[in-house]
Copies of this chain bind each other. A is one copy, B any other.
Amino acid sequence: MTMLSSGFELSVDVLRQRQNVKWGKYGADVLPAWVAEMDFAVAHPIQRTMERMVADHDYGYPNRGGNHGDGTLVEAFSNRMKSRFGWEVDPSLILPLSDLVQGTFSTILALSDPGDGVILQLPAYPPFHEAINSTGRRLLAHRLHPTEDGWRHEPGSLAKLVDATTKIILLCNPQNPTGRVFEQAELEEIGRVAIERDLVILSDEIHADLIYGGAKHIPIATLSPEIAARTITITSATKGFNIPGLRCGVLYFGSAELKARFHARFPARVLGSPGITGIDTTVAAWNHGQDWLEAVLEQLDANRHRMVNFINAELPAIRTSLPEATYLGWLDCSRLGLSGTAHDFFLEHAKIGFSAGEAFDPNGHQFVRFNFATSGRILDQILGRMADAVRSNARG
């Protein structure tokens, strides 16, 4: 495998050998910038963990330091929440899962009934729409609006949205696809409304490891015991450490009462359990992956500035803002005057595979989500192709 200078960047040739959807969905003439995984080699501790398992043919029922795999995961999650966020979690309230979409579906099913309202920030990760719509809940859209300070909710808008059968606020923080990291005051408003209207907060914090410079991630469950008691936090190492195919995540219940309500609908063992490759790599990532993560964040930080500066300078008709977290840009292309969707335009004319905005927001056809977690070289190619396509279109 050929790596580039940084130690984790990979060349296009190597990336095309991977058997992943990111590089496999489109033809060889297209540069992919869609599904949320990074074009980087994983951290050495993760790789060593996989190599050890393979060398020992160790694919049996796991014993990790005297307990089953889940025990090491619970411990690693507890330690990481403490060291990163000063958050003391209760190990008995942690539930390992195989994936976080499962976490969203199961909590919505367990804590609401058909016809109940679930508040969702828009734009939002497509499976969140599906988890609400396919289970017969009502999606109450809480819009984010572009401001000088990035994508924000209108103050006071949340309380107005809550009706008699609203049960859940589905929060995504850091937010996908806008890259917002919500500030304490914004989170406090959410917590206040949840308490006043007796709502459960389902907080997807899967991007919490991918935070830049000035921003600070605050787990909403750390704001107060009253907020914690009604919050289920969903997280994993799969996004920050680039191992989504290995499948491993964690639900954390802010109170025993919430966990009991959940298990009344989904008894223990019915939701399955992560495999040992998911568990071991997650534990390796959380316990020993921080150096790698910091090196990757430097690269991503350079990339986000490169993306935004280039767009502002060369493609001023596209509106975007500097993401405070994630490796995702949310690009408003409505002033380009395209005849079709922004996704289709860039795929056809620039040979770039972005994520289609309409999957995140029913009105998002003129938006794309830009995954910039790639080498500087590939990023420059993508930006160059965008500029050429937009200029040709303007001339045409």
Contacts and interface: CB of A to CB of B under 8 A. Distances in A.
Nearest to A276: B245
A242 B59 CA distance: 7
A273 B245 contact: no
Contacts of A21: 60-63, 68
A250 to B, nearest CB: 13
A278 B278 CA distance: 10
B64 A19 contact: yes
Contact of A54 (B20, B47, B130): B47
Sorted nearest first, the 3 A-B pairs with minimum C-beta distance are A24-B63, A247-B275, A98-B272
Contacts of A268: 134
6 contacts: A21-B62, A35-B61, A42-B59, A59-B242, A59-B244, A69-B245
Nearest to A110: B270
Copy count, this protein chain = 2
A269 B127 contact: yes
Interface stretch (A101-109, A189-197, A222-230, A293-301): A101-109
Contacts of A14: 56
Given A21-B61, A59-B281, 8 more contacts: A1-B56, A18-B58, A19-B64, A37-B60, A98-B274, A102-B269, A266-B270, A275-B275
A28 to B, nearest CB: 14
A51 interface: yes
Interface residues of A, number: 69
Interface string A31-64: 0000101000110001100110111111111111
Contacts of A267: 105, 109, 134-135
A245 B59 contact: yes
Given A21-B68, A37-B61, A244-B60, A271 B271 contact: yes
Nearest to A244: B61
Interface string A91-103: 0000001110110
A395 interface: no
Interface in A231-262: 242-248
A245 B134 contact: no
A121 interface: no
A174 to B, nearest CB: 20
B63 A20 contact: yes
A321 interface: no
B271 A20 contact: no
A42 B59 CA distance: 9
A242 B269 CA distance: 21
Nearest to A107: B270
A60 B22 contact: yes
Contacts of A23: 63
A160 interface: no
A50 B277 CA distance: 11
